[in-house]
Chains A and B, each alone.
Chain A
Amino acid sequence: MNNEPTKFIDENGLRVDGRRTDEIRPMKVDIGVLSRADGSCYLEWGNNKIISAVYGPRELHPRRMQRPDAAVIRYKYNMASFSVEDRQRPGPSRRSSEISKVSSEAFEPVVMTQFYPNTVIDVFSEVLEADAGTRTAAINAATLALIDAGIPLKSLVSACAVGKVDGQLVLDLNKKEDNEGEADLPVAITQDGEITLIQMDGHLTEDEIKQAMELVKNGCQQIQQIQREALLKKFGQYEEADTEIQSVPLTKKSSKQETESVDTESSELISGNILSDESSENREEQETDTLDILEDETEQSEDNEDDSDEEDFFVEIVRNNTEGESDDQ
């Protein structure tokens, strides 16, 4: 620690990165960045880079984890191995499991989980670059991803940290302040000021905590404003990713069913095509006809008796049809 600066705050009241004590780092937000997720958000906050994805509500496996009265929120916080200076060992760690747990609990009071019993809402927050305050940044990103996924929330959730350096309270610690400061207090709050997450590292007096809470509420309001603006800006930019539609051609059924469909529905439908425009009413009539045929086997056998006449007739029709087709080409 020989290169530790003697002061975190200079005589002008500015911090090492030039901010005042009650200023947050610049934040940049991009919503709907992943096409395969139901909702997603990319967030840059100072040097933090977070990508958050929401899938669901969807079926929850294993089933024993299901709640019969509400959806389960499964939040996964993960740091990419390249997100910090010394390579982070991939996979879950004590720290990431803890953050995942407290972050999922930060959303439980605001998400209307009771609308989706037996399901899960999966939230994945991936830290691409870390620079102190990643759990709060991840919560801010996850809120927007949840909203993007159309999940009902009672309120936006915004999170920000407050800490103490040089005996002074500062908002939104950067890495240096976090590592070498005296305290770190991350907080997540709703629009009404309800606290959904609070943790503390280091030491603060009672008075300091009270002051810190005022400071952090202010910070969260600024973040909420950024979140709102990002959402309002997104409207009107819904283009490619969100209007992507899929179409699946229905192919003829397998051989087994082909035989099935020939003597029931499809042949009727084919003849229906030739005979008439396909309004839904016609369709219905045809269907009832089909059923009649199914039940009335005697009628079919009668038809069958004079095969020879019909065969000629059939050939004629087929010829007509093929001629028509070749004309068309």
Chain B
Amino acid sequence: MDQNIVLPGQLLSENAENSGSGTYVKDGKVYSLLYGILDNKKKVTVVPFSGKYIPVPKDLVIGTVMEVTPSNWVFDINSPYVGLMHLSEYPARIDPSKMTDFLDVGDSAILQIKDVSMSMKVELTITGRNLKTLNEGRIVEIKSTRVPYIIGKGGSVISMLKKKFNCDIFVGQNGRIWINGKDEDMDYLEKAIKLIVQKSYYCDLNNNNNEILQLFETESSEQTGSEGSDNSQSEEKSFRKNSKNHDTPEDTCRKIDALLDPSHD
């Protein structure tokens, strides 16, 4: 593994055309800019160990409202730059005076980066697939440079986590992860995420994806086994099934909603 770690200023390639992200070209040779792991597959790139998230158009991120201005929400997107979402980006028509009813300071949402200007003005949107405000679950923050390891090759790690922990997971490119499920499940999932982040410093995940999955599988099963949560998980599942059978079709739920609606009181 050791030969894959590179330091800033290290010579990586004699061919200037190979220069990928995290590198620079000087006198026709490629040098590293960052401290990280070398990826030599297509182009020579360096995956850094740390660093701040820099917004890129079309990225999906999780933002938290810092400020509400008369026409914009100002989001903290875990980056040196703040993100702005204009009123018109919200899927419903909102009166400017009621903006805080929909998203107030401290609320979080899954957002997409619409545009980034030259001076790094970041525009966000909430209209699109999977984009929504977040009212439940938890947000876990990791270093943004570790995000590819949580997602895995073609989302392999993420889908495994979803299956294993019965949780909804959404990974923002800015290093914020939204998880939602039973409290217990979320506790384990948090541990699992931490484990993957730790392992990512030892293993080259691009080559040893399976290896890390296996490592993780064994450790997580030990964890769950030792604390006897297997039982509770299965109980929970059966409970869910029961409730499915007991309960009623969707339209009755709607009727309940109508009943609960305080505007009719």
Give the B-binding residues of A (Cβ under 8 A).
38-39, 56-59, 68, 112, 115-119, 147-156, 190-191, 228, 231-232, 235-236, 238-239, 242-243, 245-250, 252-254, 256-257, 259-263, 265-269, 271, 274-278, 280, 283-284, 287, 291, 293-294, 300, 303-304, 307, 310-311, 313-314, 317, 320-321, 324, 328
Contact = CB atoms under 8 A, between A and B. Distances in A.
Residue among A116, A278, A303 facing the most chain B CB atoms (10 A cut-off): A303
Contacts of A294: 92
Interface string B22-66: 101010000101111000000000001111101000000000000
Contacts of B145: 150
20 contacts: A38-B50, A58-B80, A147-B35, A150-B35, A150-B50, A154-B31, A156-B7, A156-B8, A249-B138, A250-B108, A250-B134, A250-B137, A271-B253, A275-B247, A300-B261, A310-B258, A310-B259, A313-B255, A314-B259, A324-B243
Contacts of B239: 324, 328
Interface stretch (B196-204, B207-215, B222-230): B196-204
Contacts of A235: 2, 5, 49, 201
A56 B14 CA distance: 32
Contacts, number: 212
B119 to A, nearest CB: 6
Nearest to B139: A248
Given A150-B50, A250-B138, A320-B246, A243 B254 contact: no
Contacts of A153: 8-9, 33-34
Interface in B102-136: 102, 104, 107-108, 118-120, 129-130, 132-136
A150 B52 contact: yes
Nearest to B49: A150
A231 B257 contact: no
B2 A269 contact: no
Given A154-B8, A236-B202, A274 B52 contact: no
B132 A231 contact: no
Interface residues of B, number: 80
A39 B104 CA distance: 33
A191 B262 contact: no
Interface string B80-91: 111000000001
Nearest to A118: B120
A243 B34 contact: no
Given A150-B35, A247-B139, A263-B263, 19 more contacts: A58-B52, A148-B50, A150-B49, A152-B33, A154-B8, A236-B201, A245-B140, A245-B142, A247-B138, A247-B141, A248-B140, A250-B108, A266-B135, A269-B136, A274-B243, A307-B259, A310-B255, A314-B259, A324-B243
A246 to B, nearest CB: 5
B250 interface: yes
B67 interface: no
A256 B143 CA distance: 34
B82 to A, nearest CB: 7
Contacts of A267: 256-257, 260
A260 B135 CA distance: 12
B234 interface: no
A49 B124 CA distance: 46
Residue among B81, B240, B258 facing the most chain A CB atoms (10 A cut-off): B258
A148 B35 CA distance: 8
B9 A154 contact: yes
A264 B151 CA distance: 31
Contact of B5 (A232, A248, A268, A293): A232
Contacts of B135: 250, 252-253, 261, 265-266, 269
A-B pairs, 7 with minimum CB distance? A150-B51, A155-B9, A150-B50, A271-B253, A152-B33, A238-B201, A153-B8
A275 B34 contact: no
A253 B102 CA distance: 10
Contacts of A287: 132
A287 B4 CA distance: 46
A156 B31 CA distance: 12
Nearest to B256: A314
Contacts of A116: 52, 54, 80
A118 B119 contact: yes
A256 B35 contact: no
Contact of B198 (A155, A243, A262, A283): A243
Contacts of B102: 260
A215 B40 CA distance: 37
B9 A191 contact: yes
A300 B258 contact: yes
Contacts of A314: 255-256, 259
Contacts of A307: 259
A265 B135 CA distance: 9
B104 A257 contact: yes
